Amino acid sequence: MEYWRVNILQSQTSLVHQLVCSNCHSPYALESLQTFATCCEKPLVASYKLDDTFKKTQLKERPANMWRYAEVLPVLNPENIVSLGEGMTPVFDLTRLAHQHGFDKLMVKDEGLNPTGSFKARGLSMAVSKAKELGVNHAVIPTAGNAGGAMSAYCAAAGIKATVVMPGHTPKIFQQECVYYGAEVILIDGLINNCAAKASEIERKTGAFNMATLKEPYRLEGKKTMGYEIAEQLNWELPDVILYPTGGGTGLIGIWKAFYEMIGLGWLPSDIKLPKMIVVQAENCAPMVDFIKGVERDSSAYRESIANGLAVPVAFGKDMIRNVVRESGGMALTVTEQEMIEGMQEVSSNEGILMAPEGAALWKALLKLKNEGHLSGAEKIMMINTGNGYKYLENVQE
């Protein structure tokens, strides 16, 4: 398996050009290990020399994982790729729920079928691959759960030491998977922002590379492959609406980045109507909903959620998230803890898909949008289920 994957990728050359500040576009060297743009204290993003030399017809014979898009990914030497088969997750039609609630076309992209059970596998496959390429031997990450498990798995595959910092209330399954992958696990009181402070301390004391959300430029590049897959799986058309459960927001930003890159490659027409991007957060922890609505609230006001991935009181990429919502004509809204539990039950009992609470939040948000007249039901709608619900059963048991 390893041989044929690398053999195919050896014929592909990355079109990556440089890293730039997401705010002022100042360039940063690709050859060096980078964190974020110190000029503006904002995330760095990778830019590519997009032209018609990389054609979508070239994808036909490639392996069904995210590395099929290697030309628009930043790893320069395919020998550094650390892959567990992530990507090309299925898109399912939710026909029963659509019929019951008056939706013409309702889909879910099920990221819970990735290695380690979530979309975090994409970002951490990419980040660990690039860290390996740049000589990293120790990585640290603050996590609400899934990112820690993903980094632990990919670091194990890469031979890189892993340190995971997560809230003490995180379900045991998330803690245990990190331990089994050989990671050092540190439990902290509070939410992921408290874990981030500890991870930064470890970074300063040990020299470990910090893979916190958008504090390095490559997790975004892995997450953006969701956008490429959505277009390819829908025969180069796009949904009218995409609902995304938003904590740190890397996936939302990445999907939007992918759409523009595909326009640059000529894979999508320049006049294509891009989807409305809908941010969904937990009522317990909704800093992006507040930010988009112009409400200022101290991070201490936000609480934990059964949707661990939504319990993110401070989003480093908040400006980028807001820009995506505004550019797309989207919006942001919240759902309650009880609504998430009800959503898990409704989707699983009708469609046979056990969504994570984050994904179930999208279903309940979608019903609100339709009931309030923001959507008619005639739109082509896609929800991104970011994780496997089995990992959350400890959270939702009565």
In this structure, the answer to whether residues 129 and 112 fall within a common structural domain is no
Range 227-248 average pLDDT? 98
Residue 307 has pLDDT above 50, yes or no: yes
Residue 38 has pLDDT above 60, yes or no: yes
Range 164-188 average pLDDT? 96
- Residues 88-122 pLDDT 10s: 999 999 999 999 999 999 999 999 999 999 999 99
Residue 3 has pLDDT above 70, yes or no: no
Going from the C-alpha of 372 to that of each of 93, 97, 365, 369, 376, the distances in angstroms are 23, 18, 11, 5, 10
In this structure, the answer to whether residues 229 and 369 fall within a common structural domain is yes
Residue 374 has pLDDT above 90, yes or no: yes
Average model confidence (pLDDT) across the chain: 95
Per DSSP, which regions of 22-64 are E strands?
27-28, 44-48
The verdict on residue 215 lying in a domain is: no
Q: Which of 51, 80, 109 is the last residue of a domain?
A: 80
Residue 389 has pLDDT above 60, yes or no: yes
pTM of the shown model: 0.95
For position 314, which CATH number holds?
3.40.50.1100
| Backbone angles phi and psi of 281, in degrees to 5 | -130, 165
In this structure, the answer to whether residues 263 and 340 fall within a common structural domain is yes
The verdict on residue 7 lying in a domain is: yes
pLDDT score of 398: 56
Give the separation between CA 86 and CA 91, rounded to whole angstroms.
15
Tally of domains within the chain: 3
In this structure, the answer to whether residues 226 and 204 fall within a common structural domain is no
Residues whose CB falls within 8 Å of the CB of residue 283, separated by 6 or more in sequence, listed in order: 334, 335, 336, 337
In this structure, the answer to whether residues 306 and 255 fall within a common structural domain is yes
In this structure, the answer to whether residues 162 and 294 fall within a common structural domain is no
Round to the nearest angstrom and report the end-to-end CA distance of the chain. Answer: 43
Quick one: what percent of the chain has pLDDT higher than 90?
94
Residue 2 has pLDDT above 90, yes or no: no
- Residues 137-156 pLDDT 10s: 999 999 999 999 999 999 99
Q: Give the pLDDT band (50/70/90) at residue 185.
A: very high
In this structure, the answer to whether residues 379 and 250 fall within a common structural domain is yes
Q: Which of 80, 108, 132 is the last residue of a domain?
A: 80
pLDDT score of 8: 40
pLDDT score of 396: 86
In this structure, the answer to whether residues 254 and 320 fall within a common structural domain is yes
In the sheet that holds 27-28, the strands lie side by side as 27-28, 16-21, 44-48
Q: Which domain holds residue 112?
A: 91-117+220-396
Residue 6 has pLDDT above 60, yes or no: no
In this structure, the answer to whether residues 266 and 351 fall within a common structural domain is yes
Range 368-385 average pLDDT? 98
Name the residue with tokens 């969701």.
226
Range 220-234 average pLDDT? 98
- Residues 10-30 pLDDT 10s: 456 899 999 999 999 999 999
Q: Which of 158, 180, 210 is the last residue of a domain?
A: 210
In the sheet that holds 91-93, the strands lie side by side as 91-93, 105-110, 380-385, 241-245, 276-282, 331-335
pLDDT score of 181: 98
Give the separation between CA 393 and CA 306, rounded to whole angstroms.
10
Cβ atoms 277, 325 nearer than 8 A: yes
Range 344-353 average pLDDT? 98
In this structure, the answer to whether residues 311 and 386 fall within a common structural domain is yes
- Residues 43-82 pLDDT 10s: 999 999 998 899 999 999 899 999 999 999 999 999 999 9
